[in-house]
């Protein structure tokens, strides 16, 4: 991998010579290729469960960003294709070039596929296809505002999350202030996928505004990443930080629109300068992020205080140590738009699943579907002659905020009337062992559970706002 990345980096380097606003953007559901070789519902659910677990593994055990010149390796499990997500379109360059980006609140770097030589391995949307696909790429030589980020540029340290970048020419130079060496290439991990490239300073075009000197990654090689990623996390290189946003919000359309061009809206807002709450929202404060050496990515996440979980009005017995992040970074709950299904540590998931099985008396278990999908429990709900009734799942947060999830947000109906709980945990998935472990967040709230909810990240007042809303 490293030699291949270096080859692409050398080709890329030859291409270059040696706010107050509220913006509404369409938010589109990233869907499977309808023309792909498989639309089997069991396989799709299995794929989503597996990719959600791979994502949780990465979030709980993040790797430090490495340069492409290092020998860094990863043990992160790789699945057939990229995890599902929601995408936005952003415009970079002079003149503008428009590209799709996966919106990701669990990371803090913005990058796009770059140059005519961009290569992406195993990037088909279809969960059973291993074919490579053509992905729109940014072409730096067509933009008069593209510049390589220099090694002495402070933004170089944003890319690598360290002040000690491998800038040999600058470090050994008698006149380091005149150093012209470029910022070292990056190599990023996203659980089921990777990407590598170099840092650019480029112009971001937002409606009638332009934001110059925006730090963005020019990726020339990726694996299982069908689009660029717009990091919305808490780090310095994230899109909200670079734009100095006071808040951003979105409403995720239902997954029944998987094969539809329907979209909802992402709102980027830098005008809010008061503590005023948005009408109709319930709020819970962001929790202080743990600071753990070697796990700097924990500081990027949006932690919230999950106090308890109830099923059918009954409290699920969860060890308290899993609900709050400790000094070692273990425990706590994060909100992650890049995850599909919610992940829960084994110690939380098992009593949750047991409570569902205990309360569901009118449906039988569909254990064969559990094996096929990697989800559990699953219930046979067909031929009942009346609407499906399953116990309510309610999440209770610090500050009094509660979410009573609609049934379609935590159970998915598959095949001929089988409903499966869309929460994953470490253990057997699709016939393979996927051990996530105890490090990092104990709960990762995924996008499936946030369908048809208006979600506001109030960065100025450090709180998360929520309300049920039909996202159309």
Active site residues: 104, 336
Distance CA 292, CA 149 (A): 28
Q: What are the backbone dihedrals phi and psi of residue 53, each rounded to the nearest 5 degrees, phi first?
A: -65, -40
Distance CA 88, CA 26 (A): 6
Q: What are the backbone dihedrals phi and psi of residue 447, each rounded to the nearest 5 degrees, phi first?
A: -70, -30
**Computed from CA positions of residues 453, 456, 457, 461, in that sequence, does the dihedral angle turn out positive or negative?**
negative
Please give the DSSP secondary-structure letter assigned to residue 287.
P
Q: Which residues, 6+ apart, have CB-to-CB distance to 42 below 8 Å?
A: 369, 372, 373, 414, 415
Distance CA 166, CA 182 (A): 10
444: enclosing H helix or E strand: strand 443-445
Distance CA 257, CA 247 (A): 27
Q: Which of 134, 188, 135 is nearest to 161 (CA)?
A: 188
Distance CA 471, CA 206 (A): 23
Distance CA 462, CA 272 (A): 13
Report yes or no: 197 and 9 within 8 Å, Cβ to Cβ.
yes
Cα 14 to Cα 99, 285, 297: the distances in Å are 23, 48, 32
Distance CA 184, CA 157 (A): 10
Distance CA 472, CA 318 (A): 36
Distance CA 42, CA 37 (A): 14
Report yes or no: 316 and 352 within 8 Å, Cβ to Cβ.
yes
Q: Which of 341, 355, 363 is nearest to 311 (CA)?
A: 355
Biggest CA–CA distance in the chain, Å, is 82
Q: Are strands 194-206 and 86-92 parallel, antiparallel or unpaired?
A: antiparallel
Report yes or no: 465 and 277 within 8 Å, Cβ to Cβ.
yes
- As a whole number of Å, the CA-based R_g of the chain is 22
């Amino acid at each position: 991998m490293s030699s291949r990345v270096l080859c692409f980096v050398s080709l890329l380097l030859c291409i270059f010579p040696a706010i107050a606003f509220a913006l509404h953007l369409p938010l589109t559901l990233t869907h499977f290729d309808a023309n792909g070789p498989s639309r089997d519902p069991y396989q799709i659910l299995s794929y989503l469960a597996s990719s959600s677990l791979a994502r949780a593994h990465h979030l709980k055990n993040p790797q430090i960003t490495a340069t492409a010149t290092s020998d860094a390796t990863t043990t992160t499990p790789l699945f057939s294709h990229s995890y599902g997500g929601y995408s936005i379109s952003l415009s970079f360059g002079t003149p503008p070039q428009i590209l799709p980006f996966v919106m990701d609140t669990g990371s803090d770097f913005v990058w796009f596929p770059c140059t005519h030589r961009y290569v992406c391995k195993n990037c088909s949307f279809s969960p059973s296809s291993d074919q490579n696909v053509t992905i729109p790429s940014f072409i730096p030589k067509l933009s008069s505002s593209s510049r390589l980020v220099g090694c002495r540029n402070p933004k170089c340290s944003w890319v690598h999350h360290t002040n000690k970048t491998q800038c040999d020419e600058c470090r050994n130079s008698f006149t380091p202030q005149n150093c012209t060496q470029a910022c070292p290439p990056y190599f990023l991990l996203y659980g089921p996928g990777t990407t590598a490239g170099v840092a650019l300073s480029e112009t971001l075009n937002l409606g009638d505004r332009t934001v110059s000197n925006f730090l963005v990654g020019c990726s020339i090689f990726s694996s299982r990443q069908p689009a660029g990623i717009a990091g919305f996390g808490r780090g310095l290189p994230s899109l909200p930080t670079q734009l100095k946003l006071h808040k951003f919000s979105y409403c995720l359309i239902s997954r029944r629109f998987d094969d539809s061009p329907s979209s909802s809206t992402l709102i980027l807002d830098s005008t809010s300068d008061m503590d005023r709450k948005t009408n109709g929202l319930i709020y819970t404060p962001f929790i202080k992020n743990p600071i753990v050496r070697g796990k700097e990515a924990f500081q990027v996440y949006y932690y919230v205080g999950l106090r308890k979980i109830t099923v059918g009005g009954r409290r699920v017995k969860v060890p308290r140590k899993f609900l709050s992040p400790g000094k070692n970074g273990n425990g706590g709950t994060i909100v992650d738009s890049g995850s599909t299904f919610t992940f829960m540590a084994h110690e939380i998931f098992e009593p949750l699943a047991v409570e569902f099985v205990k309360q569901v008396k009118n449906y039988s278990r569909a254990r064969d579907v559990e094996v096929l999908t990697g989800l559990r429990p699953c219930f046979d709900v067909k031929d009942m002659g009346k609407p499906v009734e399953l116990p309510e799942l309610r999440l209770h947060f610090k500050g009094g905020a509660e979410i009573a999830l609609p049934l379609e947000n935590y159970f998915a109906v598959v095949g001929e009337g089988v409903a499966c709980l869309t929460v994953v945990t470490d253990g057997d998935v699709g016939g393979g062992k996927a051990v996530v472990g105890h490090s990092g967040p104990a709960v990762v709230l995924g996008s499936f559970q946030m369908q048809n909810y208006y979600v506001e990240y109030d960065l100025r007042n450090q709180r998360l706002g929520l309300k049920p809303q039909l996202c159309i």
